Amino acid sequence: MKKVVFFIHDLHEGGAQRVIVNLVNGMSRKGIKTYLIYLHSGPMEVFVEPQAVMIKLAAKRVLTAIPEIIKKIIEIKPDVVYTGLLQNNIVLCVVSFLTRTKLVVSEHSIASKVSLDEENIFIKFGSKFRRVFYKFSYKIIAVSEACKSDLVSNFNIPPKSISVIYNPVIESINHYIRKNKNKDHIDICIIARLHPVKNHRLLIDAVSLLKKFKECKLHIIGDGYLKNEIEEYACETIGKDFFEMYGHVKNPFNLLNKMDVCVVSSSIEGFGNVVVEAISTGTPVVSTKCVGPEEILKDKPNLGFICEHDAENLASCILAASSLVIDEKQAHDFCKLFTVENIAERYINDIL
């Protein structure tokens, strides 16, 4: 039986964590023996299926966890080790070199742009050494062609060492509900961590313009250190009766089913899981020009729109998208590309 070790620093709610949990589950169901090594528990822990072996280390930081990781890898003797996010990637490159283990690292963002805005010193400066460390990896997985292009152009990583495999976003394609297009108002949502790169202020400004012409309500889903700042700005800009903040939501599909439009207002986005999640429920998407969502929605104007990083243009696109009707077949055909089952099969064929 083939064995794959997955490493993630924590199991808090996040895109990379969800991807790893989905891959662990998807590959386990296909007969691969999977091990999930992590440092900190979190909400995603409950989604790991029982056939996977979960190993929580005693260390509190990735750097100090190196001896424990090495010990576990020597014990397990996996065919491949997989990880994601820059700090994990760099540390596991060192571990891979020391244990002579095949390592697959994944890139979920536009690395050259993220490193410019990053406050974490390790990530800001570690980003510059991707090419050096990634030499010790067996393969690099980029979650979009845009991510791959960035690694090749800005980090001089050979294209042949990079495979593009989209994120495993959807467990089931049975979330679809036909929307009521005769409502007297528009329900708009954003599902994203409360972080500057997600640009919530731009969306709030767009809603402020839109509500002059059409009654609407903004639903803000996600947690982050900007919570108080975003809440205060929304109160000042659109009024407390025209928005609601939910914090972290375990199952976004129930909320998405009630929305008329889902918005991605990010300045940078390597993929955009929420684009797939929204369309699976029949909810049109409006995204600012980010390479990830642009790639996913390319040549699919019936599923949503790409707009400029401009409040007026964003408001116009939201209004237009609120009239779009996504039928069930369109949603199913689109989402098949991103199911856990299909993406797990892609990984098995590519890395094992």
- Residue 114 CA from chain centroid, whole number: 14
CB neighbours (10 Å) of residue 98?
Answer: 14
Give the per-residue pLDDT at 184: 87
Does pLDDT of 205 surpass 80? yes
The residue count for the chain:
352
What gap in Å lies between CA 233 and CA 207, rounded to an integer?
A: 12
Judgement on whether residues 161 and 198 belong to the same structural domain of the protein: no
- How many C-beta atoms surround the C-beta of residue 195 within 10 A? 16
pLDDT at 122 over 80: no
Q: Give per-residue burial for 12-50: e unless 16+ CB within 10 Å, then b.
A: bbbbbbbbbbbbbbbbbeeebbbbbbbbeeeebbeebee
Token pair for residue 10?
Answer: 């924590």
Predicted confidence (pLDDT) at residue 56 exceeds the cutoff of 60: yes
219, 292: one domain: yes
Q: What is the model's pLDDT at position 232? A: 98
Please report the pLDDT score of residue 120 as a whole number. Answer: 54
Residue 162 and residue 60 in one domain: yes
Phi-psi label, residue 32: left if phi above 0, alpha if psi -120 to 50, beta otherwise: beta
Lowest model confidence (mean pLDDT) among 49-53, 81-85, 315-319, 329-333: 329-333
pLDDT band for position 121 (50/70/90)? Answer: low
pLDDT band, very low/low/confident/very high, at 113 (cuts 50, 70, 90): confident
* pLDDT average, residue stretch 235-261: 93
Query: Closest Cα to residue 296, out of 285, 311, 307?
Result: 285
Same domain, 264 and 332: yes
% of the chain beyond a pLDDT of 70: 96
180/259 Cα distance (integer angstroms): 10
Side chain identity at residue 266, one-letter code: S
pLDDT of 125 above 70:
no
pLDDT of amino acid 96: 96
Identify whether 222 is part of a domain.
Answer: yes
pLDDT at res. 252:
87
Q: Which two tokens stand for residue 307?
A: 């707009």
Is residue 346 very low, low, confident or very high in pLDDT (cuts 50, 70, 90)? very high
State yes or no: pLDDT of 124 exceeds 60.
Answer: no
- Percent residues over pLDDT 90 in the chain: 78
Same domain, 206 and 236: yes
pLDDT at 87 over 80: yes
SS3 for the chain is CCEEEEEEEECCCCHHHHHHHHHHHHHHHCCCEEEEEEEECCHHHHHCCCCCEEEECCCCCCHHHHHHHHHHHHHHCCCEEEEECHHHHHHHHHHHHHHCCCEEEEECCCHHHHHHHCCCHHHHHHHHHHHHHHCCCCEEEECCHHHHHHHHHHHCCCHHHEEECCCCCECCCCCCCCCCCCCCCEEEEEECCCCHHHCHHHHHHHHHHHCCCCCEEEEEECCCCCHHHHHHHHHHHCCHHHEEEEECCCCCHHHHCCCCEEEECCCCCCCCHHHHHHHHCCCCEEEECCHHHHHHHCCCCCCEEEECCCHHHHHHHHHHHCCCCCCHHHHHHHHHHHEHHHHHHHHHHHHC
Asked whether residue 243 is domain-assigned, the answer is yes
**Any bridge partners for residue 187, and if so which?**
217
- As given in the structure block, the two tokens for residue 33 are 């023996």
Question: Does residue 254 form part of some domain?
Answer: yes
Number of folded domains that form the chain: 2
| Predicted confidence (pLDDT) at residue 130 exceeds the cutoff of 90 | no
Same domain? 157 vs 31: yes
What pLDDT does 347 receive? 97
Q: Average pLDDT of 273-290?
A: 95
- pLDDT tens digit sequence for 140-182: 999 999 999 999 998 889 999 999 999 999 987 777 777 777 7
What tokens does 153 get? Answer: 């152009």
CATH code at position 42: 3.40.50.2000
Same domain, 292 and 321: yes
Mean per-residue pLDDT over the chain, rounded: 92
Are 298 and 228 in contact, with CB atoms under 8 Å apart?
A: no
Q: Tokens 């299926």 label which residue?
A: 49
Q: How far apart are CA 80 and CA 129, in angstroms?
A: 23
- Report how far residue 321's alpha carbon sits from residue 325's, in angstroms, rounded to the nearest whole number: 9
The rounded radius of gyration (Å) of the Cα atoms in the chain is 20
pLDDT of residue 126: 59
- What confidence score (pLDDT) does residue 119 get? 52
| Domain with 316 in it | 186-336
Q: Which of 167, 196, 217 is the last residue of a domain?
A: 167
pLDDT band per the 50, 70, 90 thresholds, residue 123: low
Question: Residue 341: what are its φ and ψ, rounded to 5°?
Answer: -60, -50
Residue 344 lies in a domain: no
Residue 112 sits in the same domain as residue 233: no
* pLDDT tens readout for residues 322-339: 999 998 888 899 999 999
